[in-house]
Amino acid sequence: MQFNDLLLSEPATEAAIDQNPLIVAPETLLVDVIALMNQSTSHSKSSVDSSSVYFSKNQRHSSCVLVVQAKELVGILTERDIVRLTAGGVNFQEVTIAEVMTKPVITLSQAEFSDIFGALFLFRRYRIRHLPILGANGEIIGVVSPESIRSILTPAHLLKVIRVADVMNTQVIRTPKTASVLSLAQVMAEYRVSCVVISEEEPQLDVGCFIHKPIGIVTERDIIQFQAMQLNLAQVRAETVMSTPLFLLNPEDSLWTAHLEMQRRRVRRLVVSWDGGRGLGLITQSNLLRMLDPIQMHGIVETLQRTVEKLKDTAQ
């Protein structure tokens, strides 16, 4: 394997920009924002209310909302914010987005968006997942996110030689299937996680104990959908709304396999399980994008090269 074979080809930055972001006015109620975020649409931008609300049409849900006043970007609201507000018991029927949006907004000019590494740096530095791209006059060009970047990744040898076990997060929060959805939202908000794995006890007669077998998952996106349905989250149990059956990766699977499964299933995270459910991990699109960090890539390549040299020495 040649050194260059391990490098990820640099995708066109233009393709990484979602040019149809969801845009609302500051006076928009949260209940209306959630309804818009929960809509599935196609690539043309449509006006819901020409004075206040626009929504993108792209056959997928929006994971953030930009707040614009007098053609100026004044705030942003994300899925994680919705979960935090849900956990805090905010009345979505009475609160406007201006009251809870994040401001000022971290942005990047289109002229400075020459490669995806700049966006990845800002994601890490400010712990954000949505980066609005602005034109020369401050106009909104679109939004870059880990999801939009991952969607343009081309087949990369580096992803094929790194195992899921090498980068997965093993600090996974799991709850029983009887837990309320409100408690799940509170856990997500407290620990700043994007999902909770739902498990059930299963007896292991050979060792005389129980294991917590993963059977489903509830994500930030699910919380938004439940809010849109105006469910009483304190009374809804996880087992009635979780995504199941749960597709499980093996720690020995490659990151490329994880990438392909995320694309095929249209998800942003996958659960990793081993030892019959005793071991549990999580691989996210952020884990995949971390492989694009030049420093990380250099370290991996050096490790692989040393391994190859050792194999050569052993063979001799």
Which CATH number belongs to the domain containing residue 273 in this structure? 3.10.580.10
Q: Which two structure tokens, joined as six digits, stand for 267?
A: 């998800």
End position of a domain, from candidates 150, 173, 192: 150
Beta strands at 46-49 and 72-78: parallel, antiparallel or unpaired? unpaired
Domain that holds residue 87: 11-150
User: DSSP 3-state assignment of 241?
Assistant: helix
- For residues 147 and 285, is the Cβ–Cβ distance under 8 A? yes
How confident is the model over 299-309, as a mean pLDDT? 58
Over residues 258-296, the pLDDT tens digits come to 989 998 999 999 999 998 788 999 999 888 887 766 555
- For residues 147 and 63, is the Cβ–Cβ distance under 8 A? yes
End position of a domain, from candidates 117, 132, 150: 150
Instruction: Give a yes or no: residue 297 inside a domain.
Output: no
Check residues 76 and 208 and name the one with the higher pLDDT: 76
Predicted pLDDT at 75: 98
Instruction: Give a yes or no: residue 192 inside a domain.
Output: yes
> Do residues 169 and 135 both lie within one domain?
no
Beta strands at 23-24 and 64-69: parallel, antiparallel or unpaired? parallel
Whole-angstrom distance, CA of residue 216 vs CA of residue 271 = 9
**Residue 155 DSSP class:** P
213 phi/psi in degrees, rounded to 5:
-80, 125
> Do residues 167 and 116 both lie within one domain?
no
Over residues 11-40, the pLDDT tens digits come to 568 888 999 999 999 999 999 999 999 885
> Do residues 25 and 131 both lie within one domain?
yes
User: DSSP 3-state assignment of 52?
Assistant: coil
> Do residues 24 and 125 both lie within one domain?
yes
Over residues 54-65, the pLDDT tens digits come to 433 344 578 999
Helix H segments across 39-126? 79-87, 97-100, 116-126
H/E stretch holding 23 reads: strand 23-24
> Do residues 192 and 146 both lie within one domain?
no
Angle at 286 between CA 285 and CA 290, to 5 degrees: 120
Predicted pLDDT at 3: 37
Beta strands at 140-144 and 131-134: parallel, antiparallel or unpaired? antiparallel
Whole-angstrom distance, CA of residue 242 vs CA of residue 203 = 22
End position of a domain, from candidates 118, 150, 182: 150
Q: How many domains does the chain have?
A: 2
Instruction: Give a yes or no: residue 134 inside a domain.
Output: yes
Instruction: Give a yes or no: residue 315 inside a domain.
Output: no
Whole-angstrom distance, CA of residue 116 vs CA of residue 123 = 11
Q: Which two structure tokens, joined as six digits, stand for 122?
A: 């800002």
> Do residues 23 and 143 both lie within one domain?
yes
Over residues 203-251, the pLDDT tens digits come to 766 656 667 889 999 999 999 999 999 999 999 999 999 999 999 999 9
Instruction: Give a yes or no: residue 3 inside a domain.
Output: no
Whole-angstrom distance, CA of residue 108 vs CA of residue 158 = 28
pTM summary value = 0.78
Q: Which two structure tokens, joined as six digits, stand for 179?
A: 């837990």
> Do residues 185 and 267 both lie within one domain?
yes
Whole-angstrom distance, CA of residue 277 vs CA of residue 283 = 16
Instruction: Give a yes or no: residue 311 inside a domain.
Output: no
Over residues 79-136, the pLDDT tens digits come to 999 999 999 999 999 999 999 999 999 999 999 998 777 888 899 899 999 999 999 9
> Do residues 37 and 143 both lie within one domain?
yes
Predicted pLDDT at 160: 77
> Do residues 146 and 164 both lie within one domain?
no
Q: Which two structure tokens, joined as six digits, stand for 288?
A: 């995949």
Q: Which of 65-69, 111-115, 184-188 has the lowest mean pLDDT?
A: 111-115
